[in-house]
Amino acid sequence: MTKRVFLILGDQLSFDHPFLITGQAGSPSIRFEADDRWVMIESIPRAEWLPYHPQKLLYLFTCMRRFAVDMRSHSPDKPIHYIKASNQTFADCLNDLSCDEVHVIEPSEPRVKKWLTEGLKPKLVVHPSPFFLGKDSFLPAKPPYLMENFYRKMRSTLKILMVNGEPAGGQWNYDADNRQPPTKTMESKPPEDFLARDWLDAEDKKIMADVETMLREFIPAQRFGDWSWPRLPTHQKSARAFLADFIKDRLSFFGPYEDAMLAQSVGLYHSGLSAIMNIQLLSAREILRAAENAQATVPLSSREGFIRQVLGWREFVRLIYLRHNRDYQSSNFFGFNGELPPAFWGAQTDLFCLATIVRQVRENAYSHHIPRLMVLGNFALLTQTDPHAVNRWFWSVYLDAYEWVVSPNVLGMSQFADGGLFATKPYVSGANYIKKMSNFCKSCRFDPQKTVGEGACPFNSLYWSFIDDTQRLNVQRPSFTRRMSLMWSLWNKKSDEEKNLIRSEAKKYRDQARCGKL
């Protein structure tokens, strides 16, 4: 008889996992046998592949161990063989089990399949993944890809926020209602975000203490990131309570303030569900239905704004990653090769927005999407940083970061390294956007209204220098030219003297940023 191992990966922690459905493994032709084994592996070589934030590893390994504990009651007929803190590769661990076949659900990242197959002696049997909702056929045959078109297909196909075949409320998109800056009341009395409550129970704390002891043996003491325990649920029951808490207390305000940034709050009204969803503690479908069926007092614009993030961007970028992951390994549209500024690793900087967000990431392994895009990503692009260094940093330090979601968001949307597969222009700005959408500038020594001279905000000269540089590129992309033409025309109206001053200041700030003296 064939000896089979059913491998459950660390980002597939769902009780709806096909290998845990009684009687079959995702297909009627595959029946479980008495000597089949279910296996989970903690691979230290995998955990050391990048300088991961300690909280990222604390959370992932705690969730994995808690899942194995809960499996005892959920599926007592399928005991998990859990391999802790192995110094072997995945393949070597599986080879030691002396099996004929290793069954796995399609990994979310092709790189993981490569790690599984390198040196693996048993036959690898890969089953389709049920964990995502989007289909490649929803994308056009070739780029550019438009998220809006994809999103509408997803809404229509899954019948989410649809009434008689039409979008609820008569329109697909409520972005115009969802771009409000923080209010003075929010500044004086910041709202409780998802980090305000500790979601760990006694079992979680016991597990996390053991995981921390294990991790401290191999993670260098100088590693970027605090060792405080992540304040997120680690199992399905608490994750559902976490979701209900968001729907009840924050979803109503998520829409209008989803782009707002506040120095006193990390998450504002955001859900904090991305890390939970990306390891399948809760499915995207369950989260979407909860938002769709929220109480009547939740504005449609807030429900739509949240659903757009999950059903639109999340599913959209995954499919782009699957199509273009090989391209993303080397893409560098602008040819930037600067080192990542030391401020990203916590070096002192007088830019209050940058210092605040890096501190929040160090303390929580989290910031929401606008600080990632419009402060961190914006600054990296304006200082001509190697986009792959930026990508590795995001991938390393965020709790919810996995290659399939990080690479298209960072290399595509943030750094425009793919040349515009789905973004029509680089997401860059001067200080005005940060001033409008946050309270950071109020505590900063730099003046967001000044472009050059003493106390001028570096974002301004860096921005105009970027506009200057991109105008001189020979870009055969009509959408890029169309979206950039207004800023090019404004730049061209400046005097030669002003242009040279801006170029000089921008170079100075790039050099200072690179050596950690900005």
Task: Give residue limits of the domains in the chain.
Answer: 4-127, 138-196+235-323, 342-514
- What pLDDT digit, counting tens, does each position of 459-504 carry? 999 999 999 999 888 776 777 888 899 999 999 999 999 999 999 9
Full 3-state SS string of 212-249 = HHHHCCCCCCCCCCCCCCCCCCCCHHHHHHHHHHHHHH
pLDDT recorded at residue 258? 96
- What pLDDT digit, counting tens, does each position of 393-452 carry? 999 999 999 999 999 999 999 999 999 999 988 999 999 999 999 999 999 999 999 999
Helices 458-471 and 478-492: crossing angle in degrees, nearest 10, is 120
- What pLDDT digit, counting tens, does each position of 46-64 carry? 899 999 999 999 999 999 9
Q: Which carries the bigger pLDDT value, residue 73 or residue 39?
A: 39
Which of 2.160.10.10, 3.30.1600.10, 1.10.579.10, 1.10.10.10 is the CATH number of 342-514? 1.10.579.10
**219: Cβ–Cβ under 8 A, 6 or more apart, which residues?**
54, 57
Model confidence at 22, pLDDT cuts 50, 70, 90, reads low
* Closest by Cα among 389, 57, 343, 375 to 367: 375
- pLDDT at residue 457 tops 60: yes
User: pLDDT averaged over the chain?
Assistant: 94
| CA-to-CA separations, 245 to 199, 240, 462, in angstroms, rounded | 11, 9, 41
Which pair of structure tokens corresponds to residue 48?
A: 């050391």
In the predicted model, what is the mean pLDDT of residues 102-120?
92
pLDDT recorded at residue 78? 82
In the predicted model, what is the mean pLDDT of residues 292-308?
95
- What pLDDT digit, counting tens, does each position of 210-264 carry? 999 999 999 999 999 999 999 999 999 999 999 999 999 999 999 999 999 999 9
pLDDT recorded at residue 477? 73
Q: In angstroms, rounded to a whole number, what is the distance separating the alpha carbons of residues 418 and 342?
A: 25
* Closest by Cα among 317, 345, 328 to 388: 328
Q: In angstroms, rounded to a whole number, what is the distance separating the alpha carbons of residues 337 and 480?
A: 22
pLDDT recorded at residue 165? 95
Secondary structure letter of residue 53 according to DSSP: -
Contact 231, 200 (CB under 8 A): yes
pLDDT recorded at residue 319? 97
* Closest by Cα among 319, 291, 262 to 108: 319
Q: Which CATH superfamily is domain 4-127 in?
A: HUPs (3.40.50.620)
| CA-to-CA separations, 65 to 83, 384, 488, in angstroms, rounded | 10, 41, 54
φ/ψ of 356, rounded to 5, equals: -65, -45
Which pair of structure tokens corresponds to residue 79?
A: 């005991």
Q: Which fold has domain 138-196+235-323?
A: 1.25.40
- pLDDT at residue 334 tops 90: yes
